[in-house]
């Protein structure tokens, strides 16, 4: 089951209405900054009661102790996956994964490389000379060497990461756009079918499903198109 639906809405009624149109046998759900900041841990409980695995996408980026403790707090909610920014560096990632392992949690920890909304020009403007793919490869190699379970990247980088980092390193890819969908603010996009061919483990899909006229039907359509 490789689809993660991003529940990017701002209230409980819309979040649960969308969840109730999804099927936990076809997808997992992602709770991000907007929904979690509005509703807090209670929304995670509601989604767990509906049998969904939840990816809590808060992209922690802070000093090692603060990040590690925030990740433990997320793991205590029983979430399936949580993330940090790889650019927080080695000590941050090593401290976090080591505390998570010590606590015997089942929660996967992954690290964001380069946001899928960013292009080469956006990176250059930040003073990063590498292009997006090079920067993703660099941060993913660092992430793996810290013992973290995988990365968030674009599916555009999945082939090279799979080849370099092996079959067990998780590749989680937002920026997924079916051919007929609007790009929105995403810059490094890939279709669901191409992402699967290129070896991603999980694809994160938000607006193409949640803003569809019939979200339930759209999920089924995408699910069937990648079988």
Ligand X SMILES: O=c1ccn([C@@H]2O[C@H](COP(=O)(O)O)[C@@H](O)[C@H]2O)c(=O)[nH]1
Give the residue ranges of the annotated binding site.
8, 30, 57-66, 116, 177, 186, 206-207
Based on CB atoms, which residue is closest to ligand X, 98 or 128? 128
Active site annotation includes 198: no
What is the closest distance, in whole angstroms, from the C-beta atom of residue 32 to ligand X in the complex?
4
Active site annotation includes 201: no
Which position's Cβ is nearest ligand X?
206
Active site annotation includes 57: yes
Residue 164 Cα distances to 1, 161, 167, 188, angstroms = 24, 5, 9, 20
Residue whose structure tokens are 């990816």: 55
Which of 48, 53, 88, 45 is closest to 70 using CA atoms?
Answer: 88
Based on CB atoms, which residue is closest to ligand X, 6 or 84? 6
User: Which residue in 23, 62, 122, 184 is the catalytic one?
Assistant: 62
Dump the DSSP string for 110-166: EEE-S-TT--HHHHHHTT--S-HHHHHHHHHHHHHHTT--EEE--GGGHHHHHHHH-
Three-state DSSP state, 88: helix
User: Which residue in 23, 59, 138, 184 is the catalytic one?
Assistant: 59
Question: 99 near 64, Cβ under 8 Å?
Answer: no
- The residue ranges that bind ligand X (CB under 6 A) are 6, 8, 32, 112, 115-116, 152, 174-175, 184, 186, 204-208
What is the closest distance, in whole angstroms, from the C-beta atom of residue 208 to ligand X in the complex?
6
Four-residue CA torsion sign, 73, 92, 82, 168 = negative
What is the closest distance, in whole angstroms, from the C-beta atom of residue 176 to ligand X in the complex?
6
Based on CB atoms, which residue is closest to ligand X, 146 or 172? 172
Q: What is the CA radius of gyration of the chain?
A: 17
What is the closest distance, in whole angstroms, from the C-beta atom of residue 112 to ligand X in the complex?
6
User: Which residue in 53, 57, 198, 201 is the catalytic one?
Assistant: 57
Which structure tokens are listed for 121?
């020009």
Q: Determine the Cα–Cα distance for residues 6 and 109; give it in Å rounded to an integer.
A: 18
Based on CB atoms, which residue is closest to ligand X, 57 or 68? 57
Annotated catalytic residues are 57, 59, 62
């Amino acid at each position: 089951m490789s689809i993660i639906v991003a529940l990017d809405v701002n209230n409980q009624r819309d979040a649960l209405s969308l969840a109730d149109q999804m099927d936990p046998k076809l997808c997992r759900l992602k709770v991000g900054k907007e929904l979690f900041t509005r509703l807090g841990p209670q929304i995670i409980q509601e989604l767990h009661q509906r049998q969904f695995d939840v990816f809590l996408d808060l992209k922690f980026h802070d000093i090692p102790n603060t990040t590690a403790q925030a990740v433990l707090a997320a793991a205590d909610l029983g979430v399936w996956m949580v993330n940090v920014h790889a650019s927080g560096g080695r000590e941050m990632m090593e401290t976090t994964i080591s505390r998570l392992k010590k606590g015997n949690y089942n929660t996967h920890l992954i690290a964001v490389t380069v946001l899928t909304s960013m292009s080469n020009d956006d990176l250059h403007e930040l003073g990063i000379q590498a292009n997006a793919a090079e920067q993703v490869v660099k941060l993913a190699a660092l992430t793996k060497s810290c013992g973290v379970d995988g990365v968030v990247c674009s599916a555009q980088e999945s082939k090279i990461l799979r080849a370099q980092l092996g079959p067990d390193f998780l590749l989680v890819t937002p920026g997924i756009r079916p051919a007929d969908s609007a790009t929105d603010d995403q810059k490094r996009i890939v279709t669901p079918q191409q992402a699967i061919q290129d070896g991603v483990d999980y694809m994160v899909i938000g607006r193409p499903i949640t803003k569809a006229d019939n979200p339930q039907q759209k999920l089924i359509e995408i699910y069937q198109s990648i079988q």
